[in-house]
Structure 1
């Protein structure tokens, strides 16, 4: 968890969508530290620590924040791009994925992360930050990705889907971004991209209206990619390359 400097009252209102501090209704919140057992520590009240899965020499490292970042730590995933297997791969699998199923009907929920790219992103492969459920017809899913450095959120009930992007904005290497995805009602969805240090918007919030039904993903929630597999490359695993902090899922 990186400590964020105090902000103005106006900026504090901006942070309501997903404040950095753990909330009572957080199902998980990973703030960048590891337990003695090597699990990614859940800073929320449930203690759903995450297991690190790796292949090809990849790993997830807890890195102390540097000067100007306010202390704490963040998670560093494999750097650089890889187009020929074996590739360095690493993902985090939260405990109790069932707790991250939003629920029935018009259940409101939000998810997101603080994201920083450490190298120019690949243009021929996706970069998944936080997802539950695969893409494709018949599959329910919620997902945050930064494919090509462009933040986007996706929700699907298995029959229909919503994909929201932050316009044409492309994340520059080396800058932290706080990306927030939210289902505000049965038919209203939102993406926000904020500056974590001030709470001010980096891009205008974007909204979409669509009457999706219950979003009930199956399988396992994952952070940092959609799988690890020694025989596959980035284009098949959507490996995230960079730093993550304050990865959360909250049901409202």
Structure 2
């Protein structure tokens, strides 16, 4: 089993005010999905790189681009919950693995999204927002999840793991949140939960300090779930059920 360096903020390391996270916009942006779609099967990357994300579905699931009250757009994933297959499933898969990796595996990088739950989450299933790499010994990974409505960030070099919770804060259904995960230095990790309308912190930022090797995930990243599989329910796919906007990865 991979060695857990920080399971919940405060369990292994103390929480501190810490430095601010790196900006989520600017010249180092690698991907950013803000709700627009090129086609019904392709989510638009708004950066100059145009690294669009392919939509994969099963069981009647869809990803929809819908307008918000300000005239912007957001992405809607299948609503409700599904304890038994077949389930409506949908994910977005950026086809750019190299662009979503810290340059040497040890540098600063951040990822996150604006998100809104549209129903009470299932108590038996996880919900992935961003995932690149698998969990388990020998697998590098970075990940943002809102399992059971509680946001957390995970980083692993394949041996050691940092799993950082936002003080076990539970998201309110129907409210937008901005969740930010960042590796601020080779040893400092952070999660922030903000109000996207004001930029104010919903809860104080949480930090973990851990020595970790290169984080170099393999394969392709996914947004909105772990996989789509017609024979599996939410407990196997970690399907996100709700709305996403401003989904990004950046490195520096």
TM-score by length of structure 2 reads: 0.90
Partner of 2:97: 97
Indicate if the aligned counterparts of 2:45 and 2:53 stay in contact, CA closer than 8 A.
Answer: yes
Partner of 2:15: none
Deviations 1:11-44 (A, max 9, x none): xxx996445xx52211100000101464100011
Give 1:51 shift. 0.4
Which residue, out of 30, 49, 52, partners 2:33? Answer: 30
Partner of 2:212: 212
1:168-179 aligned within 5 A: 168-179=168-179
Indicate if the aligned counterparts of 2:151 and 2:168 stay in contact, CA closer than 8 A.
Answer: no
Secondary structure (helix, strand or coil) at the match of 1:141 reads strand
TM-score by length of structure 1 reads: 0.90
Secondary structure (helix, strand or coil) at the match of 1:99 reads helix
Secondary structure (helix, strand or coil) at the match of 2:98 reads helix
Secondary structure (helix, strand or coil) at the match of 1:225 reads coil
Partner of 2:59: 56
Deviations 1:143-175 (A, max 9, x none): 000000000000000010100001121000011
Q: In angstroms, what is the RMSD of aligned CA positions?
A: 1.4
Cα distance between partner residues in 1 of 2:21 and 2:207: 17
Partner of 1:4: none
Q: Cα distance 1:176–1:18, how it changes in 2: closer, same or farther (>3 A)?
A: farther
5+ residue gaps, structure 1? 1-13
Partner of 1:11: none
Moved more, 36-45 or 22-31: 36-45
Matched, 1:248 2:239: no
Cα distance between partner residues in 2 of 1:176 and 1:65: 11
Secondary structure (helix, strand or coil) at the match of 1:236 reads helix
Deviations 1:77-124 (A, max 9, x none): 000000111100000001212210113253100000001000001110
Secondary structure (helix, strand or coil) at the match of 1:162 reads strand
Cα distance between partner residues in 2 of 1:37 and 1:77: 13
Partner of 2:81: 81
Q: How many residues align?
A: 234
Cα distance between partner residues in 2 of 1:34 and 1:78: 17
Cα distance between partner residues in 2 of 1:133 and 1:61: 25
Cα distance between partner residues in 1 of 2:90 and 2:23: 25
Indicate if the aligned counterparts of 1:177 and 1:195 stay in contact, CA closer than 8 A.
Answer: yes
